[in-house]
Amino acid sequence: MEELKQRILRDGKVRGSNEVLKVDSFLNHQMDVAFLQDVGRAFRQRFADCQIDRILTIEASGIGIACLAALAFDQVPVVFAKKNKTKNIAGDVYLSQVESFTQSKRPYNIFVSKEFLLPGERVLLIDDFLANGSALSALIDVVHQAGAQVVGAGIVIEKAFQPGGKLIREKGIRVESLARIAAMSEETGVVFCDD
């Protein structure tokens, strides 16, 4: 998605030793809703050949993106995995574990109420970043626990120089990334993959 690449080059900031790409001015803190509508439509184009019953993401950064993608998919329901089991999650839950790259680098659990993810459903995963693949692996695990099917994963930005994309694709999951980064540094900025 050329518009996304230009936005990353213009507004993105690389921090640390090739670890963090800050896109919080338009994607995952302050959200440019009109731009995210285009992102949602791009996912719809990429997965036009798939029947989608539900979109699944993880809180918090994926929620806005997933909601705008859902509009492009004729308003399919969006479910997000919670990072904390709260009192308002009634009944049984699916549970999996994520080792966060950007948060504490310690594992945490995610929860999805069994009420909102049903056997036989065709589920599209949506997330803002794919780096090491831990969050997506946990979401895939939750879908499989439910007896549902992952039809694919829509990723806004994939750090192709990290192992997550390869890991998820080796699981047989279709991954459609709108921008794939080959390398990045504070000195040189972001370099995109040719594909």
188 pLDDT band, cuts 50/70/90, is confident
Which residue intervals of the chain are DSSP H helices?
2-11, 33-46, 61-72, 134-145, 164-170
Cβ atoms 128, 108 nearer than 8 A: no
- Count of other CB atoms within 10 angstroms of residue 105: 8
Mean pLDDT calculated for residue range 42-65: 95
Burial of 142 (0-12, 13-18, 19+ CB in 10 A): buried
Per 3-state DSSP, what percentage of the chain is helix, strand, and coil (rounded to 5)? Answer: 30, 35, 35
Q: Which residues pair with 157 in a beta bridge?
A: 129, 179
Residue 193 has what DSSP assignment? -
CA pair distance 112, 103, nearest whole angstrom:
20
- Count of other CB atoms within 10 angstroms of residue 194: 6
pLDDT tens column, 62-121: 999 999 999 999 889 999 999 877 766 667 899 999 986 555 567 889 999 999 999 999
Q: What's the pTM?
A: 0.93
Residue 42 has what DSSP assignment? H
